[in-house]
C-alpha cells in the first residue's frame, strides 16, 4: 500500500516536469498523510492543471460508521464499483519525492527512485461540488527487494507516459499499472517519529542506523 509520502521539490520544478503553465505554490512536506490536502496533476476543462486535492475517499459502512479509502488495487481498479467510473474518466498523477512503508517489525523505510528526484503515482479523482475533491493512489504488487518491506507499492507512471495516463483509453491506462522494478529504487530506515501525522520536518526522511540488539535484552 501507500500510506505516507513526501514532496519537498520546488513548485516550479514540479510544474516543469509535468509541462504545466499554472503553478500552485505549496510548502515542502515530509509526511503527507491520508485525509490531508496534497498536490495533484489532473485535467480541468481540457487542460492539465496542478492543484490541491484531499487524499482519501470516505465510504459509509454499517451502523453509521465510515472508512477512508486511500488506495486502489491496480488489479481491480477498472472493475470495483467505487473506482470503475473514476478510472475511466478521472485519472490523475500525484507528484512525490519518496514514499514510506513499514515492515513487519514496524520499522518505517523511505523509498525513492535512483534516477528521478520527482516521481508520479497513478491516481484517480472523485469530483465533489460541495467540498474539495478527493484522490486515491493506485497500488501494484511489490517485487524484488521491496517485497521484503511490504507486499504492495504505489503504481508509478513514467514521465513518457504522463499524457497516456491522463488522456488515454482505460485499456491503455490499465497497461501502465505494472509492478515497479525494485532495482530502480533505493530504500533505507527512517525514524519511527514518522508514525505520527503531527510530525512533518526534514529529519523524517534522513537515514538512521540499524539498531543492534542489546546484550542485556
Beta strand 29-32 with 119-126: parallel, antiparallel or unpaired? unpaired
| Domain layout of the chain by residue ranges | 4-205
Of 157, 155, 137, which is closest to residue 72 (Cα–Cα)? 137
Q: What is the mean pLDDT of residues 57-69?
A: 79
Residue 61 has pLDDT above 70, yes or no: no
For 183-203, the pLDDT digits (tens) are 999 999 999 999 999 999 999
Residue 215 has pLDDT above 50, yes or no: no
Q: How many angstroms separate the CA atoms of 49 and 27, rounded?
A: 18
Q: How confident is the model at residue 63 (pLDDT cuts 50, 70, 90)?
A: low
Q: 24-57 as b/e, with b when 16 or more CB fall inside 10 Å?
A: eebeebbbbbbeeebbbbbeeeeebbbbebbbbb
Q: 70-97 as b/e, with b when 16 or more CB fall inside 10 Å?
A: bbbbbeebbeeebbeebbeebbbbbbbb
Q: What is the mean pLDDT of residues 66-86?
A: 95
Cα 56 to the center of its chain, rounded Å: 11
What's the length of the chain?
A: 217
CA distances 187 to 28, 112, 114, 178, Å, are 20, 6, 10, 20
For 14-49, the pLDDT digits (tens) are 999 999 987 778 999 999 999 999 999 999 888 899
Q: How confident is the model at residue 211 (pLDDT cuts 50, 70, 90)?
A: low
**φ and ψ at 202, to 5 degrees?**
-55, -35
Q: Residues 182, 174, 39, CA angle at the centre, nearest 5°?
A: 70
pLDDT of residue 209: 85
Which CATH superfamily includes the segment(s) 4-205? SOS response associated peptidase-like (3.90.1680.10)
The four Cα atoms 174, 179, 185, 188 give a dihedral, to 10 degrees, of 120
Q: Is the pTM of this model over 0.85?
A: yes
Report CA torsion sign: 137, 141, 145, 148. positive
Cα 101 to the center of its chain, rounded Å: 11
Amino acid at each position: 500500500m501507500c500510506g505516507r509520502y513526501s514532496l519537498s521539490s520546488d513548485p516550479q520544478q514540479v510544474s516543469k516536469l509535468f509541462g504545466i503553465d499554472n503553478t500552485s505554490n505549496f510548502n515542502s512536506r515530509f509526511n503527507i498523510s491520508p485525509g490531508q490536502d496534497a498536490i495533484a496533476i489532473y485535467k480541468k476543462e481540457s487542460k492539465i492543471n496542478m492543484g490541491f486535492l484531499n487524499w482519501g475517499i470516505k465510504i459509509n459502512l454499517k451502523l453509521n460508521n465510515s472508512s477512508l479509502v486511500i488506495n486502489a488495487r491496480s488489479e481491480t481498479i477498472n472493475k470495483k464499483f467505487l473506482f470503475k467510473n473514476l478510472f475511466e474518466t478521472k485519472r490523475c498523477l500525484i507528484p512525490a519525492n519518496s514514499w514510506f512503508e513499514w515492515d513487519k517489525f514496524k520499522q518505517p523505510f523511505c523509498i525513492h527512485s535512483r534516477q528521478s528526484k520527482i516521481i508520479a503515482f497513478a491516481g484517480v479523482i472523485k469530483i465533489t461540488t460541495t467540498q474539495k475533491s478527493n484522490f486515491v493512489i493506485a497500488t501494484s504488487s511489490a517485487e524484488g527487494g521491496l517485497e521484503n518491506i511490504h507486499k504492495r507499492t504505489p503504481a508509478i507512471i513514467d514521465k513518457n507516459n504522463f499524457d497516456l495516463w491522463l488522456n488515454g483509453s482505460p485499456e491503455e491506462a490499465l497497461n501502465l499499472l505494472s509492478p515497479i522494478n525494485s532495482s530502480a529504487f533505493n530504500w533505507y530506515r527512517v525514524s519511527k517519529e514518522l508514525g505520527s501525522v503531527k510530525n512533518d520536518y526534514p529529519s523524517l526522511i534522513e537515514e538512521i542506523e540499524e539498531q543492534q540488539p542489546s546484550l542485556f535484552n
